[in-house]
Amino acid sequence: MADRTAKKTKRRVKNPETFRERALKATEGAESGRQGRLKRFVVGAISPIVGPVAKAASKFFSAKPFRPVRRVLRVVGKIIFPVYFRHSWQELRLVTWPNWRESRRLTFAVLVFAIVFGAAIAGVDYGLDKVFRDLLLK
């Protein structure tokens, strides 16, 4: 009887990770190798020089005299670059590009597939050529 009076606990099921969450998780560990050390070294060496210059430039160009210029450039940009290209650029910025190792692996897979498929097509072409030459030329 005690079992019936006890509250049933609801199981909480965690939602599965989205593709973007998995990609972000994968890129977090990508900076740990030699490229990550190189990037940290370059950023550490350049940031004391570039940081103050960039800060001053952003303050200078965000001043009130440049607001009309920015508005004009924004309108010109919307005329020159149609919506399709702007949206395409935004989507490209969201892409998680593969690292060097994965790129080599996928490139090798594509080359192997192309060679096998080409050999299969060449074999079928040779076979059909023989069949039709024997049938039509005799």
Cβ neighbours, 10 Å, residue 99: 13
Which amino acid, residue 109?
A
- 54 located within any domain: no
- 34 located within any domain: no
Number of domains in the chain: 1
- 133 located within any domain: yes
Domain with 126, as residue range(s), is: 100-138
- 77 located within any domain: no
Q: What is the pLDDT of residue 130?
A: 93
pTM for this model (two decimals):
0.37
Cβ neighbours, 10 Å, residue 23: 14
- 109 located within any domain: yes
Q: What is the pLDDT of residue 110?
A: 97
Please give the Cα distance from 20 to 135 (Å, whole number): 58
